[in-house]
Amino acid sequence: MKKIMVTGGHGTVGYAIQQIVSREPVEGYRFIFVDIGDANLCSKTATLSLFEKVRPDGVIHLAADVGGLYKNMDHGVEMLEKNLLMNMHIMQCCKEFNVEKLVSCLSTCIFPELSLSDHIRLPIDETMIHMGPPHPSNEGYAYAKRMLDVQSRYYRKQYKQNYITLAPTNIFGPNDNFSTENSHVIPALIRKCHAAMNNGGDFVVWGSGRPLRQFIFSLDVARLFIWAYLHYDEAEPLILSPDESQEVSIATIGQYVADAFGYFKPLMFDTKYSDGQFQRTVSNRKLMERYPDFKFTPLPAAVKKAVDWYRGNFAKARL
């Protein structure tokens, strides 16, 4: 049986992979989930010890210093440096231990900002990743993740390593990071709506509610990572996103959260907070060509599942 080591194994996508493989085992493979308690990947020594201990045949690299808009705006240095270090050590160790495959995680938020590049048009596709600067709110994270694409292709070319990269759009789901400082928009809205339900206060969405986003359910991301490990071997990144027609405003996603909770008062919008990037519509054409049968969980149903998880697991949620 081959061993696939999943870094960031107890984060949102790691948890989702655990759920999928416990229900539908992948023949011939066993998954080992590791996190910062096993090794701090910012240290090469610690990363080497982890590889010596686990001796993986393959790696799915999900560990990252990651967060929503407001964390990105305040912690550019850490997000650049920690991600560069972790990614560097994982790539080096995968080569030193001659793993059969490394799947790394990018994000569609690292692609160029439309208003800053003459070479970009919507929808954004995989070929445009380096065609202009990212949105200024998340430069640190974006440049570190862009290097993951560059490095993966270099290792592939020079050392014939089978390194691939996947770029999901905004992920959410069970076991998300629901903290006030670091969370992405959906878990933040779930936490806030739950609190408003319990204390009778308002449900306040930050910013104008007008920005547009595509969202992907973590269980769908997990299925796609497993599929990509087994079937996607191309040097270029692959965007993981529902169709462009599934793009919604932040106000709409707030309403989905309110509906899932049965919160019936009007949503409030606090425009003191930044809106961040207005829109970054991506194309999923390449994914649908490579995996035509894949079915995404419809967004309102996925939001309901995330809300139900939060209600049922409030005591152990990452707050």
Residues that bind ligand GDP (CB under 6 A): 68-70, 109, 170, 183-185, 188, 205-207, 211, 213, 250, 273, 275-277
Nearer to ligand GDP, 58 or 207 (CB): 207
CB of 264 to ligand GDP, least distance (A): 19
The catalytic residues are 141
Residue 22 contacts by C-beta under 8 Å, 6 or more apart in sequence?
none
Q: Which of 58/254 has CB closer to ligand GDP?
A: 254
Q: Please state, in angstroms and as integers, the Cα–Cα distance from residue 149 to each residue in 55, 167, 233, 296, 299, following that order.
A: 24, 10, 14, 25, 29
Helix (H) or strand (E) holding 275: none
Strands 212-213 and 248-249: antiparallel
Q: Estimate the share of the chain in helix, then strand, then coil, as percent rounded to the nearest 5.
A: 45, 15, 40
Write down the least CB distance from residue 248 to ligand GDP, Å: 11
Distance in Å, CB of 267 to ligand GDP, minimum: 10
Our CB check for ligand GDP shows the closer of 5 and 205 to be 205
The amino acid occupying position 208 is S
C-beta of 188 vs 299, nearer to ligand GDP: 188
CB-count burial class (<10 Å; 0-12, 13-18, 19+) for 199: exposed
Q: How far is the CB of 163 from ligand GDP (least distance, A)?
A: 25
> What is the rounded CA–CA span in Å between residue 190 and residue 203?
10
Torsion sign, CA atoms 225, 231, 237, 239: negative
Residue 174: DSSP 8-state: T
The least CB distance from residue 109 to ligand GDP, in Å, is: 4
Instruction: CB nearer to ligand GDP: give 38 or 247.
Output: 247
Number of helical H runs and strand E runs in the chain: 10, 12
